[in-house]
Amino acid sequence: MSQDEAEPQFSVLLVVDDDAFTRTFLREQLEARGQVVLTARDAEEAATLLRQVDEPVVVVLDLMLPGRNGVELLAELHPRSSAYLRFVLVSASARVEHAAEDHPLVVGRLGKPIDIPQLMQHVNVARSQLGTAAA
């Protein structure tokens, strides 16, 4: 792990996945790297949390969710979201590579099982776009 990965980044990660094991695993891995992590089990819970957070958020978003899926959640975002949100899409499906291809807020896509160093690379790209990268 590099020095940058261990330093707090002063923005929030939101992990949205309906699988409790995946949510817990990602939260533990990301918190061990100094990240502030919230979790949600579906798009409804994620939308509620996003309305409550007052700082930039990088969302690790599973595509396959009960109810509204990840792509539907992306489609419902207000245009002003570009100032404070970025997304890393994840899925066990190979379709994740082409999901929301033209969406301006999506900075990366990962298959499951999730490679944590690759995820952190996407998170760092997202943070640099949001202006919240560590000094």
**Residues facing 109 on adjacent strands:** 89
Q: How many CA atoms lie within 13 A of 56 on its CB side?
A: 21
Instruction: Report the percentage of the chain scoring pLDDT > 70.
Output: 87
Task: Compute the average pLDDT of residues 88-100.
Answer: 81
Sign of the C-alpha dihedral computed for residues 84, 100, 116 and 59 taken in this order: positive
Which three-class secondary structure state does DSSP give residue 129? helix
Pairwise pLDDT comparison (67 vs 100), residue with the higher score: 67
Mean of per-residue pLDDT scores for the chain? 84
Q: What is the pLDDT of residue 133?
A: 55
What are the tens digits of pLDDT across the range 12-28?
A: 899 999 999 999 999 99
Looking at the 3D structure of the chain, how many domains does it have?
A: 1
Among 37-46, 88-97, 102-111, 117-126, where is mean pLDDT lowest?
A: 88-97
**67-76: b (≥16 Cβ within 10 Å) or e:** ebbbbebbee
**What are the phi and psi torsion angles at 21 (to 5°)?**
-60, -45
Q: Domain span at residue 21?
A: 3-130
Residue 126 maps to which CATH number?
3.40.50.2300
Pairwise pLDDT comparison (5 vs 49), residue with the higher score: 49
In a domain, 135, yes or no: no
In a domain, 101, yes or no: yes
In a domain, 61, yes or no: yes
**Cα 60 off chain centre by:** 2
Distance from C-alpha of 91 to C-alpha of 20, rounded to nearest angstrom: 15
Look up the pTM and report it.
Answer: 0.85
Cα-atom radius of gyration of the chain, to the nearest Å? Answer: 13
